Amino acid sequence: MTAATHDWLNNLPKIELHLHLEGSLEPELMFTLAKRNNVELPFESVDQIRKAYAFSNLQDFLDIYYQGANVLLVERDFYDLTWAYLQKCHEQNVIHVEPFFDPQTHTDRGISFEVVITGISRALRDAESKLGITSRLIMCFLRHLSEEAALDTLTQAQPFIKHFIAVGLDSSEKGHPPEKFSRVFEKARELGLLTVAHAGEEGPAKYIWTAINDLKVSRVDHGVNALDDPALMQHLVDTQIPLTVCPLSNTRLCVFDDMSQHTVLTMLDQGVCVTVNSDDPAYFGGYMTENFVALAESLNMTEEQAIQLVRNSISASFVDDARKNELLALLLND
Ligand code: ADE
Ligand code: ZN
């Protein structure tokens, strides 16, 4: 790739709709926080950590990802984590973000919900005032845990409901279908929250159907396995329910053997509202720009396709029409 193409992709205004804040914890910050908080890490160096990031599947990754989060203890840690991600967004001209956080990863270690959400929210507020990056936060439930645990988390979250716009569903997909969480998602909708869910990353197309029909999601996270089901593909085209696709994540977790096999542009050309996102950038080798670069290098993505992917993200975002129009103007006047 030429430097000019790389710069064009980096400067293109971008929107991120699928990002786990805990997955943006870079090894350097992990070490800093471990030292500051007197937490022992099972690694000697940043290099050793990076070498451990060779995954064969989602579970391989999740085991290391939950371990990494152990260095996050106090409000300042959650602020620093979120702020580091937002600075990266600023460098890559990411102008609006809708990140996920996993409260149960922290509350199960005895950290209060309030500590987690106040640290994250303070950084998101600072990003808007200092960097001009707008955001909407999404609280995810861990699907390998029970629905009762998710209901308990929703209760803990209620005093802080103004800080987030939607609930989501993440962690180990296979064997944990969306409908396991029908009641808690119904309760979240009654509270006025929107819903999203990871589905069809490693799990079958059937899980995408139940995310849509049982959980009433506004967006499907990943959703790449929709291609196995022609009726579902037609439904996605007809309804324009967006998919938040994460190319580097999919190759690092062996959902696709190689980026040249990735189907995101095929789906785009078929009229599905696909978007490009980084998922867990500290673990998968790149943020938004690197994901766009990978598509340009391995799939010959055109400028028109890149612009359409960002247009899809704007239309899929949870901001009001006024902000959508501002984002569109920033994209088209670029
Ligand atoms: N949590 C963080 N990243 C995830 C992913 N790609 N799939 C499911 N859960 C996750
Ligand atoms: Zn994800």
Bridge partners, residue 196, by sequence: 219
Mutate which of 18, 61, 283 for ligand 1 pocket (most atoms within 8 A of beta carbon): 61
**CA diameter of the chain:** 53
Name residues whose C-beta falls within 8 Å of residue 33's C-beta, 6 or more positions apart in sequence.
39, 71, 72, 73, 77, 80
Annotation marks residue 148 as catalytic? no
Question: What are the pLDDT digits (tens) for 262-303?
Answer: 999 999 999 999 999 999 999 999 999 999 999 999 999 999
Up-side HSE of residue 219: CA atoms within 13 Å toward CB? Answer: 24
| Mean of the per-residue pLDDT values of the chain | 97
Question: What are the pLDDT digits (tens) for 13-70?
Answer: 999 999 999 999 999 999 999 999 999 999 999 999 999 999 999 999 999 999 999 9
Exactly one of 16, 22, 98, 201 is catalytic; name it: 201
Domain 3-318 has CATH 3.20.20.140: yes
In whole angstroms, give the CA distance from residue 22 to residue 164: 16
Tokens describing residue 81:
């984590």
Q: What is the pLDDT of residue 311?
A: 98
Question: What are the pLDDT digits (tens) for 116-156?
Answer: 999 999 999 999 999 999 999 999 999 999 999 999 999 99
Q: Give the confidence band of 333 by pLDDT, cuts at 50, 70, 90.
A: confident
Q: For 217, phi and psi rounded to 5 degrees?
A: -70, 145
* Share of residues in the chain with pLDDT > 70 (%): 100
Q: Give the confidence band of 198 by pLDDT, cuts at 50, 70, 90.
A: very high
Which residue is listed with tokens 């959703």?
A: 223
In whole angstroms, give the CA distance from residue 4 to residue 16: 23
CA-based R_g, the chain, Å: 19
Does the beta carbon of 198 lie inside 6 Å of ligand 1? Answer: yes
- The answer to whether the predicted template modeling score (pTM) of the entire model surpasses 0.75 is yes
C-alpha 141 to ligand 1 mean position (Å): 11
Mean pLDDT for 171-199 is 98
DSSP calls for 63-113: HHHHHHGGG--SHHHHHHHHHHHHHHHHHTTEEEE--EE-HHHHHTTT--H
Does the beta carbon of 77 lie inside 6 Å of ligand 1? Answer: no
What are the b/e assignments for 33-52, b being 16+ CB within 10 Å? bbeeeeeebebeeeeebeee
